[in-house]
Amino acid sequence: MMRFPAFPPLPGRPGREQSWRWLLPVFLLLLFLFALLWLPWQAQRMESTERQEQMIADTLWVEQTVRFQLGRNEESLRLVASDMVSGYLDGKKWDDRMDALLRNSRELARVVWLDAQGRQVASTDDGVELSLADLSLPSRQALEKARQTRLPLYVQPVRGSTGTVTMDYHVPLVRGNQYLGDLVATYTTASILDQLVPWWFAQENEILLTDSDDTVLDRRASGGPGRNVYTHSRALDLPGVAITLRTNSIKSEPKLLPNLLVGSVILLSLGLLWSLSALWRDINRRLVAEDALRQQVSFRTAMENSLVTGLRARDLEGRVTYVNPAFCQMVGLAASDIVGRLPPMPYWAPEAMDEYQQRFSKVLAGSVTPRFETIFQRADGERFPVLVFEAPLMDDSGRQTGWMGSILDVSDLRRVENINRQQQEKLQASARLASMGELASTLAHELNQPLAAISSYATGALNLLARSPESGADHGMLKTALEKASAQAQRAGHIIRSVHAFVRKRDPARLPIDVKTLLDGLAPLVELQARQFFVSIQISSAPGLPQVLGDGVMLEQVLLNLTRNAIESMQLVPPARRVLRVAAVLDDSGDTPMVAVSVADRGHGIPAEVAERLFSPFFSTKSEGMGMGLNICRTVVEFHGGTLTHSDNPKGGTIFRFTLPVMTRTADGPETAPA
């Protein structure tokens, strides 16, 4: 058999396959080299960006912390100024409040109280006497500006002779249109950085405070100077000054990874396994997140269904987008009857339609009242009071999409308030009855005298008639006896009418009252108590006192309680000192004219430990007392718009003083008194 040689391989085919075999490793090698160079560079950039972003976030947090603390100090100082203007904060109370403020706010160096002429009234720094001339020129200018604008403001920081940079904050003291002085709080920029910047942030960054000209006011660099690689600036938004918080990180730029080749090989080797693991983990996390989301939705639905507070969501056009079951139950309507509707709403009461329309106009204008009270009506027409809280409704991007409201049915609360008011009235009536119980024996004795006199005069008149049956009695003597009997009868009737008017129960009524007439009418009851303890009564009223608007019986109860306490406090003092003085004068020293009534005794006085709890409910120094008398007196006086205070009598004893606003006439005619 003849064999033919095999054909040689076709030229070119093995070369093409071999080239493809080389191209793939070359491509992978180039890809590896590219990854070897690009990944560390990219990692370095990402780390640098992350450090910068972290420093920006930390700087923003520190700036917000500083501003929050300064804002809290501003609010505290404004509250102190308000209490000072109201007269509730002076002397030791002011010192105690300032001590507490400086303990809680260590960044504050001192607080000084200046009067209207710039003289120091009080200061937290006992070693320094500060006046207007001692303030820096910017501080004096800021004080004058605060005085003109009536608004608190800061002073641009200034560097003192010792090198310390200070910044003042002025709070004007204003009562009405009257400027009373200024409250000057002083910070040092060093204390702001030391007290308000966290230590960990100061260890990693150099922190500076600069002014508008980039002049460094102060710095804190616990970890050393910054490297000017990662820096950020935030302006402190303070009224009246321009201060910038600058941070300079002490970190340098990140370096490339050491042993780059080994790290890259390991990274590429583990990349696939890590990607598969990450994918599996991501899937599991997604499943867990979806399950948690379902649970959260179920929990939220169950929580909203169990709430007794009604929830209502509206879009920016006022259309209702959501209501919870509690709201539907509250108004007696189904959700389908409410959701998607525009005003007017079916739960609006017709008599309050104008109020609803005004609030709806504010919603369309982009603003709502955060908290207000109104009335709704149920599906059956029943009206009920509600308390509504409104807040903006935001989406995940921070954009407002509508308004969320919480609605509380306050019907039960109003019923409780009515019950409490009725109980208070009953308690006042009980106090009046208790007062009359103490007067019962004295009242019987006082009534016995005029009744006995009436009997004697009547007997004498009969005897005169019996002695002269024919010629006629002596008409002059008979007239005198009958007039005296009538006077004694009127005296007894006056006492009985005073007691009856004081004890009888009725609703409080505010009517014009003449204080002198009130004191004269109460004089018989006060004398009944005073005679029992041999106390002399002196009642005086300034001429031309204006009228006040109030409830006469309630004010009589206050006076009777105060005079009874004063009389009882003088039981153990010598008879010559047993003098009770009741005086009414006009006090026009404040913005609102007041009628001031004082009850002064010369008894044993009030110890300091008792004075602190004197007006507390159920506190009494009497073994048989309930401890409600002075508490009720203060409640009645405050109900009339006045105040009840007490002080030591310079002649020994105590002076209780309460004020009542003078009745004024409005433009429409009726007379009113400030509440």
CATH of the domain at 649: 3.30.565.10
Could you tell me if 106 and 239 lie in one domain? Answer: yes
Place of tokens 């329309």: 357
440 lies in the same domain as 552: no
Same domain assignment for residues 347 and 456: no
Give the pLDDT of residue 505: 46
Nearest one of 182, 183, 179, 212 to 73, comparing CA atoms = 183
Q: Last residue of some domain: 227, 251, 275?
A: 251
Same domain, 390 and 451: no
Flag whether 266 is in a domain.
no
C-alpha to C-alpha distances, 286 to 189, 276, 282, 672, nearest whole angstrom: 50, 15, 6, 70
In the block, tokens 């070693």 appear at 127
193 burial level (CB within 10 Å; 0-12, 13-18, 19+): buried
Per-residue confidence (pLDDT) for residue 600, from 0 to 100: 92
Residue 81 lies in a domain: yes
Pairing label, strands 579-587, 536-541: parallel
Predicted local confidence at residue 133, as pLDDT: 77
Is 559 contained in some domain?
yes
The reply to whether 474 and 616 lie within a common domain is no
Residue 384's domain comprises 305-409
CATH of the domain at 353: 3.30.450.20
Domain boundary residue among 409, 424, 453?
A: 409
H helix intervals, 111-188: 137-149
Beta-strand pair 594-600/579-587: antiparallel
Q: Which amino acid is at 599?
A: V
Tell me, yes or no, whether 515 and 581 share the same domain: yes
Which residue type sits at 303?
A: M
The rounded distance, in Å, linking the Cα atoms of 443 and 184 is 61
H or E stretch at 458: helix 411-467
Q: Are 555 and 614 within one domain? A: yes
Q: Which amino acid is at 474?
A: D
Name the helix (H) or strand (E) containing 247.
strand 243-249
**Is residue 313 in some structural domain?**
yes
Q: Are 312 and 328 in contact (CB under 8 A)?
A: no
Compute, in degrees rounded to 10, the torsion defined by CA atoms 141, 146, 152, 156.
-10
C-beta of residue 226 within 8 angstroms of C-beta of residue 206: yes
CB 580 within 8 A of CB 562: no
Same domain, 69 and 181: yes
The answer to whether residues 401 and 460 belong to one domain is no
Distance CA 658, CA 557 (A): 13
- The span from the first CA to the last CA of the chain, in angstroms, equals 136
Is the peptide bond prior to 344 cis by the omega test (within 30 degrees of 0)? yes
654/598 same-domain check:
yes
- pLDDT for the residue 421: 65
Does residue 23 lie within any of the structural domains?
A: no
Instruction: Indicate whether 106 belongs to any domain.
Output: yes
Provide the number of structural domains found in the chain: 4
Residue ranges of the chain with per-residue pLDDT less than 50: 1-15, 18, 259, 441, 471, 505, 618-619, 623-628, 667-670, 674-675
For residues 154 and 119, membership in a common domain is answered with: yes
The verdict on 333 and 243 lying in the same domain is: no
pLDDT at position 14? 46
Does this model's pTM top 0.85? My answer is: no
CA distance linking residue 266 with residue 274, whole number of Å: 12
Residue 515: inside a domain, yes or no?
yes
Residue 21 placed within a domain: no
Q: DSSP assignment of 378-416, as one string?
A: -TTS-EEEEEEEEEEEE-TTS-EEEEEEEEEE-HHHHHH
Would you state the pLDDT for residue 452?
58
Q: Edge to edge, what strands does the sheet with 310-315 contain?
A: 320-323, 310-315, 400-409, 383-394, 371-377
Name all contacts of 344-349 with Cβ < 8 Å and 24+ positions apart.
Answer: 345/320, 346/379, 347/376, 347/377, 347/378, 348/376, 348/377, 349/375, 349/376, 349/377, 349/383
Cα separation, 147 vs 389, in Å, equals 37
Q: Show which of 465, 481, 507 is a domain's final residue.
A: 507
Q: What whole-number distance in Å separates Cα of residue 555 and Cα of residue 571?
A: 25
Write the pLDDT tens digit of every residue in 130-155: 777 778 888 888 888 888 888 999 99
